[in-house]
A and B are shown apart, each in its own frame.
Chain A
């Protein structure tokens, strides 16, 4: 009797559990089955080739800015290749993509196509990197474009695009002030141009045309990647002779160009709203400087890269058309150049099924090498080509054009920050310490000495 009851109880509970569980799975598998069934019917109607088995690819990336365009590209591709289904997952702001990748890696469930750049990251994700050396695009890559993701002669990543950063200026403001900035090649010329513009602002003669204009520059002290990842190249690139791997292999850093960094930041601070009290710069973020200050016409120059074009454009298209690159001067090295970098790399998960890997490679190859793909990459994403077979294709925005001009003139410096001991050193150590300088808690010497010490201890772990 007692036993019967127990059995009953067990059965009742199990039933409840099963009910709940099945309602869950039921709902989920519903969606999946509908998806596959539609796909199968497409298969039957369109493609009779039996060798083309259905493949599912997952892309996990972080550039929200190209999400819609990438999705459109995927739709185009999957229409041509109905056996391929591609899921695009884009991780928005607020969260670091690294956290997502790491948690997916911990789960042993890395996406089929993901982003991974530089020796540091590649070393960490080496178990997931597929050798792409045999891909057709490899031979077409422009010089140096594959280096960051090349280990022991093997290519592991397809470069997403070339980008550049430096000092970006609204040239119309300088024109209106009667200051010529078309031939600036030295730090001092830059300083004089800024001073001349600031003088015009202060005496009120620009108030008619640029009523909001108050300062020449704005320093984005809230963005540790602006101070760390990007600006730090002013000190690192000359020390390591523009060689990422020299930086990557360096146990110590001398900061022999620390004065160049200091002068570079001080130049921007000198003509900013925070010239007297630097602390205020710490609350100036990317959108304050780009969409707030530059796009509204309240400053003329900020340190940024070509990616800001769209953001300025959504606020004020006229100002966006007037943006030009000024050199980011590295005193004692090259004062007439801008910094170039590879935005990121597309990598293929080596642990995916063979046919998924092949399909992923095919898709990337289509995206960067087919005519339709090239058009999307250049005209929809707005990316600068990194391959030599793009013909005349080039983005139309003034900043991208500017980069091409600097490249043609050979006035570029290769950024080396990917050779530093990880994002942790760039942002949590160096970027943070520069913030400490801005708030007055640290001197420049402390910034460099302590950062060098950290570099050494991170490398010798």
Chain B
């Protein structure tokens, strides 16, 4: 019995390691490529780099203007996420607490819009944003609020439904304004789902390419990491040596974030999906 268990455990570990290797393989290849010369990549793509080239990172960093691109991306991601959290939590709260037909219809409109492919709204979106003078980072964050609303509202909506309304009512009787009731009483209760919303939005915004490439427009000083990474893919050719180093460098911050938040992420995704 005991032996049998040990054997089965052993097999599980083996299977786990094998699948893990499969999952990590593409990343590993990318990492190897980032230490190869352009010639080496084409000559021997799976082998160990020879010679090991360390300059790809420096060169990629210089060509991408890594520092400022990273800073732009961080700034946009964080501000957009905070704004999404503030406004979608507020919106979801009233959508749940006001049990009217209007709130029901609005909620379904938000939900069903998740099925619209972005490419279909692109051109009308551009002309609207331009009329409102929003083809700039400010407009990008505004657009993130709009595109991020449906999923975030669905998540908050489900969670708030599960919170009893008594506390809020008590606060209201004590004379708190609606605004203070929400921020003082309700919002702190939402922290588990807020984590989920934050994580899902950060992951999405960090990797987004198309929306910033369109909305940032002529504000080139606001180019983000994904936009800069595409500089290594030219009209005809691709600099795989720099591109792979650039890719690794744009993944690193998000991996650090992931490692730091691993437990919360896993919990966050679960809360988001189940509720």
Direct touching of A and B (C-beta under 8 Å): yes
Which residues of A pack against B, CB within 8 Å? 5, 8-9, 12-13, 16, 20-21, 23-25, 27-28, 31, 58, 60, 62-65, 67, 87-95, 100, 102-104, 106-109, 111, 286-287, 290-292, 295-296, 307-308, 310-311, 314-316
Which of B179, B210, B220, B237 has the most chain A CB atoms inside 10 A of its CB? B237
The interface residues of chain A lying within 8 Å CB-to-CB of B233 are 64, 92-94
Given A107-B127, A308-B237, A314-B39, 5 other A-B residues pairs in contact with their CB atoms under 8 A: A9-B178, A58-B218, A87-B218, A94-B209, A296-B39
Distance in angstroms between the alpha carbons of A319 and B130 in the assembled complex = 50
The verdict on A64 contacting B137 (CB below 8 Å), with A9-B178, A100-B213, A314-B38 known, is: no
Docked Cα-Cα span, A269 to B108, in Å, equals 56
Number of A-B contacts (CB under 8 A): 125
Residue of B39, B135, B218 contacting most chain A CB atoms (<10 Å): B218
Say yes or no: B232 contacts A92, CB within 8 Å: yes
A107 to chain B, nearest CB (A): 3
For the complex, what is the distance from the CA of A200 to the CA of B178, rounded to whole Å?
Answer: 87
Q: Which residues of B contact A23 (CB under 8 A)?
A: 79
Within 8 A of A (CB), among B27-56: 38-39, 42-43
Query: Are A111 and B127 also in contact (CB < 8 A) when A24-B141, A93-B230 are?
Result: no
Q: Are A109 and B230 in contact (CB under 8 A)?
A: no
Is B238 interfacial (CB-CB < 8 Å)?
yes
Interface residues in B51-96 (C-beta closer than 8 Å to A): 75, 79, 83, 86
Residues of B within 8 A of A314 (CB): 38-39, 239
Whole-angstrom CA separation of A9 from B233 in the bound complex: 51
Partner of A8, one of B177, B213, B218: B177
Those 10 A-B pairs whose CB atoms lie nearest each other, nearest first: A93-B233, A92-B230, A107-B130, A64-B234, A107-B126, A106-B123, A311-B237, A92-B231, A106-B126, A292-B42
Query: How far apart are the CA atoms of A82 and B38 in the complex, in Å?
Result: 39
Set B79, B130, B235, B238: member contacting A109, Cβ < 8 A: B130
A-B residue pairs in contact (CB < 8 Å), sample of 10: A9-B177, A9-B179, A67-B231, A87-B218, A88-B220, A93-B230, A107-B127, A108-B127, A291-B237, A295-B42
Using a CB-CB cutoff of 8 Å, which residues 225-258 of chain B contact chain A?
227, 229-240
Alpha-carbon gap, A31 to B221, bound state (A): 9
Bound-state CA distance A412–B245 (Å) is 42
B266 on the A face (CB < 8 A): no
> How long is the Cα–Cα vector from A64 to B63 in the complex, in angstroms?
11
- Complex Cα distance A67/B220, Å? 13
Verify if B192 is at the interface (C-beta below 8 Å from A): no
* Beta-carbon contact of B235 and A64 below 8 Å: yes
- Taking a contact as CB atoms under 8 Å apart, the answer to whether A93 and B238 are in contact is yes
Please pick, from B38, B79, B122, B124, the residue contacting A24 in the complex, using a CB distance under 8 A.
B79
Q: How many residues of B contact A (CB 8 A)?
A: 45
Q: How far is the CA of A23 from the CA of B229 in the complex (A)?
A: 28
Q: Which residue of B lies closest to A17 (CB)?
A: B87
- Chain A residues contacting B236 (CB-CB under 8 Å) are 65, 286, 290, 307-308, 311
What residues on A are CB-neighbors of B184 within 8 Å?
none
* Interface residues, chain B, with chain A CB atoms under 8 Å away: 38-39, 42-43, 75, 79, 83, 86, 122-124, 126-127, 129-130, 135-138, 141, 177-179, 209-210, 213-214, 217-221, 227, 229-240
Q: In the complex, what residues of A have CB within 8 A of residue B220's CB?
A: 87-89
Taking the nearest CB of chain A, how far is it from the CB of B215, in angstroms?
A: 9
The contact of B83 among A20, A28, A292, A296, by CB within 8 Å, is: A20
Known contacts A95-B230, A296-B39: A5-B214 contact under CB 8 Å: no
Q: Given B42, B123, B177, which contacts A103 in the complex, CB threshold below 8 Å?
A: B123
Task: Closest A residue to B238 by CB, please name it.
Answer: A287
Say whether B179 contacts A12, CB under 8 Å: yes
- Bound-state CA distance A287–B239 (Å) is 9
Pair B235/A107 contact, Cβ less than 8 Å: no
When chains A and B are docked, how far (Å) is the Cα of A100 from the Cα of B212? 11
Chain B residues lying within 8 Å of A292, measured Cβ to Cβ, are 42
In whole angstroms, how far apart are the Cα atoms of A67 and B135 in the complex? 23
Residues of chain B within 8 A (CB-CB) of A89 are 218, 220
> In the bound complex, do residue B214 and residue A100 qualify as a contact, i.e. CB atoms below 8 Å apart?
yes
Q: In the complex, which residue of chain A has the Cβ closest to the Cβ of B75? A: A27
Q: Which of B130, B138, B218 contacts A25 (CB 8 A)?
A: B138
Query: What are the residues of chain B within 8 A of A64 when measuring CB–CB?
Result: 231-235
Chain A residues near B136: list those with CB within 8 A: 28
Give bound CA distance, A7 to B233, whole Å.
55
Residues in B with CB closer than 8 Å to A9 are 177-179
Please name all residues of chain A whose beta carbon is closer than 8 Å to the beta carbon of B39 when the two chains form the complex. 295-296, 314-316
From A103, which residue of chain B is reached at the shortest CB distance? Answer: B126
Shortest Cβ distance from residue B256 to the other chain A in the assembled complex, whole angstroms? 24
Chain A contacts of B230 at CB under 8 A?
A: 91-95
Q: Complex: how many Å from CA A8 to CA B130?
A: 33
Determine if B237 and A28 form an interchain contact, defined as CB atoms under 8 angstroms apart. no
Chain B: minimal CB distance from A263 (Å): 26
For B231, the closest partner residue in chain A by CB is A92
Chain B residues contacting A316 (CB-CB under 8 Å) are 39
**Residue pair B235, A63 in contact (C-beta under 8 Å):** yes
B235 A62 Cβ-Cβ under 8 A: yes
Contacts of A102 in B (CB 8 A): 123
- How many angstroms between the C-alpha atoms of A104 and B123 in the bound complex? 9
Q: How far is the CA of A178 from the CA of B16 in the complex (A)?
A: 57
- Given the complex, which residues of A lie within 8 Å of B75, measured CB to CB? 27
User: For A16, what are the chain B residues with a Cβ–Cβ distance below 8 Å?
Assistant: 86
Q: Is the CB of A107 within 8 A of B238?
A: no
In the complex, are the beta carbons of A109 and B135 less than 8 A apart?
A: yes
Nearest-CB residue, chain A, relative to B228:
A92
Output the nearest chain B residue to A304 by Cβ-Cβ distance. B236
Q: Are B138 and A28 in contact, with the CB atoms below 8 A? A: yes
Q: Which of A28, A58, A88, A93 meets B235, CB within 8 Å?
A: A93
A428 to B55, CA, bound (A): 39
- Shortest CB–CB separation between residue B230 and chain A, in angstroms? 3
Q: In the complex, A20 Cα to B82 Cα: how many Å?
A: 10
